[in-house]
A and B are shown apart, each in its own frame.
Chain A
Amino acid sequence: MNTTGFPYRIFPLGDSAITIDFGNCIDEAINENVIQQFNKIRQDPFPGFIEALPSYSALTLFYDPVLLRKTIPAGTTAYEWVKSKAAEILQDLTATESPAARFFKIPVCYDTNWAKDLSALAMAKNLDIEEVVHIHTTTIYKVFMLGFLPGFPYMGEVDKRIEMPRKTQPHSILSGSVGIAGRQTGIYPMDSPGGWQIIGRTPLKLFDSSKEESSLLKTGDRVEFYSISKEDFDTIKEAEDKNRES
């Protein structure tokens, strides 16, 4: 328990990482705390620190145990040292400058041509396709974490009326496809097998390795979707592809 009021537990992830777990849940306040701690630790890394990885409700710290052991008292394991260092960092209540949350409006074509699972989802939820689209486009989502694929945003929370578990078998999914899994929504940055229910496709490039900021979205960003026609999709996609070539 730390004084910020977020109880936590620390687990080892092998011999070169620990995970600070604030509870197995999707919760905005907890995720905000994870992002705060992520920023704090990156501003003031400890010896042997490699990187930090924020997820929904946990923060994982990767470190080099051999390098770290050269700087700590003999007889202490790197694991024990990082564990107590983490506790110390969590005790420190000095507010960190977190980058302001950015807001993105993302165009999505909900045409069934791209939205392979939209009709089935609407049917299962006893809604019209238009209602599903309306519900999906009138919620502001938070990017809780990136993972699975480079630049893949895990966003939430999806309205209960359109939540749907992921498929039991993975399918091949096109880049830009927008999907739903439980109360999460996400966008596939590249063609990939995947199990999310596909309800639309954005012409925007979520990930571009040739750019310095390769991922369009970051953890903590807010996203709102808006519906576009097939024609708009083609026009924007063409512009995006051209932009990449130049």
Chain B
Amino acid sequence: MDTIQDGGRYGHQHLGINPNGAMDRYAMQVANALVGNELNEAVIELHFPASVFMFSQPALIALSGADFSASINGEPVPNLHCIAVNKNDALQFHRPLHGARAYLAVRGGLEAIDWLQSKSTNLKAGVGGYKGRSLEKGDEIRIKRKEETLPFLKEEEFKVLPWSADIKFCENTKELLVLPGSEWDRLTGEAKDLFISTPFIVTKQSDRMGYRLLNNPLQAVTNEEMISSAVCFGTIQLLPDGKLIVLMADHQTAGGYPKVATVITAHHSRLAQLKAGDGIWFRLADHATAEEMLGRQQQHLQQLQNACILKLQNYLYAPIH
């Protein structure tokens, strides 16, 4: 399932409109930085098997996030580079090597339905992105920038520009830092121990709404019914059978299951790249750590964005390559 997503739709959760947006927002922002876009510009989020894209005009693109062994016209191309593509070039994805979600950014951004200040696809309301739905064969997505002038690009070739973002997605470590939630103390002492000392397996019942985890059931000290209240991306809820579910980008705005913990924002990228069968470990963190990690991540993005703008300027407007 491939959809158009951006940094998310905020300010409307009180109407039941959830934020949507890219699952791996960090990877999306890296892809945008590489092509010199605003960090939250709309991109295409890809799940394997992903669509094949045919370009009808020259463009500068970048791939980020999961590695689906991409190729252009049959020749392998790397993630985390800016790539100049020509008219009639075909981009396709062959094997899911690492991670679960790849991002395709195009310099200038994509023309998409803007709803409530966001181009993210809301599948429930059928609005935003491309006709409010996931992409289908034959769809034509327009690039906002009319025509890319790429004097260095000879006819019938594409070019991988000679620099890349030094970022590792889908690292081997599957440790996720979490902050305890409002119902953390509903877990028995033994359940708390299990929570932080045993692996949880991501099951096939996992999608943009949430991941169901496989684990030894966690016992609660009470099964008192909960009244619905706000949840968010990364919230870990305890289901009545003692299993856990982690909420993702298309989560409902409110939920009635106990919220035992929430994955810190700096680890949402790691979380978003998990696929069925992956084992993960939860570790407790504190707010200072969570906030500082997020601050460093954003600082790094800012630096990457600035560096890419300079590199692109020098490359695109230099006389000879």
| A residues apposed to B, CB below 8 Å | 11-17, 19, 21, 24-26, 38, 50-58, 60, 62, 65-66, 69, 77-80, 145-152, 154, 189-190, 192, 207, 209, 214-215, 218-219
Cβ A14 vs Cβ B253 within 8 A: no
Cβ B15 vs Cβ A215 within 8 A: yes
Give A189 to B252 CA distance when docked, in angstroms.
14
Give A40 to B233 CA distance when docked, in angstroms.
25
Give A170 to B265 CA distance when docked, in angstroms.
31
- Minimum CB–CB distance for A171 against chain B, Å: 17
- Minimum CB–CB distance for B126 against chain A, Å: 7
Instruction: Choose, from B213-221, B275-283, B287-295, B312-320, the stretch at the interface.
Output: B287-295
| B residues apposed to A, CB below 8 Å | 10-18, 115, 122, 124-127, 132, 179-182, 224, 226-235, 252-254, 259, 262-265, 287-288, 290-291, 294-295, 298
Cβ A209 vs Cβ B15 within 8 A: no
From the candidates A13, A56, A215, name the one contacting B232 in the complex (CB within 8 A).
A13
Cβ A15 vs Cβ B179 within 8 A: yes
Chain B hits for A154, CB < 8 A: 228
Cβ B287 vs Cβ A15 within 8 A: yes
Give A218 to B125 CA distance when docked, in angstroms.
17
Chain B hits for A24, CB < 8 A: 224, 226-227
Cβ A17 vs Cβ B230 within 8 A: yes
Give A23 to B47 CA distance when docked, in angstroms.
41
Cβ B122 vs Cβ A150 within 8 A: yes
Chain A hits for B224, CB < 8 A: 24
From the candidates A52, A56, A60, A215, name the one contacting B16 in the complex (CB within 8 A).
A215
Cβ A53 vs Cβ B14 within 8 A: yes
Q: List 14 A-B contacts (CB under 8 A).
A: A11-B182, A12-B180, A14-B233, A15-B179, A21-B229, A50-B11, A55-B254, A79-B287, A147-B16, A150-B15, A150-B16, A150-B18, A209-B115, A219-B14
A14-B125 contact, Cβ under 8 Å, with A51-B14, A79-B287, A148-B254: no
Chain A hits for B232, CB < 8 A: 13-14, 16-17, 62
- CB-CB nearest in chain B for A148: B252
Cβ A51 vs Cβ B11 within 8 A: yes
In this complex, the member of B127, B227, B235, B262 whose beta carbon has the largest number of chain A beta carbons within 10 angstroms is B227
Cβ A146 vs Cβ B265 within 8 A: no
Chain A hits for B15, CB < 8 A: 146, 150-151, 214-215, 218
Chain B hits for A56, CB < 8 A: 227-229
From the candidates B126, B228, B262, B263, name the one contacting A147 in the complex (CB within 8 A).
B228
From the candidates A57, A78, A80, A146, name the one contacting B14 in the complex (CB within 8 A).
A146
Chain A hits for B11, CB < 8 A: 50-51
- Minimum CB–CB distance for A132 against chain B, Å: 23
Chain B hits for A80, CB < 8 A: 287
Give A140 to B4 CA distance when docked, in angstroms.
42
Cβ B229 vs Cβ A51 within 8 A: no
Give A24 to B186 CA distance when docked, in angstroms.
14
- Minimum CB–CB distance for B141 against chain A, Å: 20
Chain A hits for B181, CB < 8 A: 11-13
Chain B hits for A151, CB < 8 A: 15-16
A66-B125 contact, Cβ under 8 Å, with A17-B232, A56-B228, A147-B228: no
Cβ A77 vs Cβ B287 within 8 A: yes
Give A24 to B224 CA distance when docked, in angstroms.
10
Chain B hits for A150, CB < 8 A: 15-18, 122, 124-125
A12-B179 contact, Cβ under 8 Å, with A19-B229, A147-B252: yes
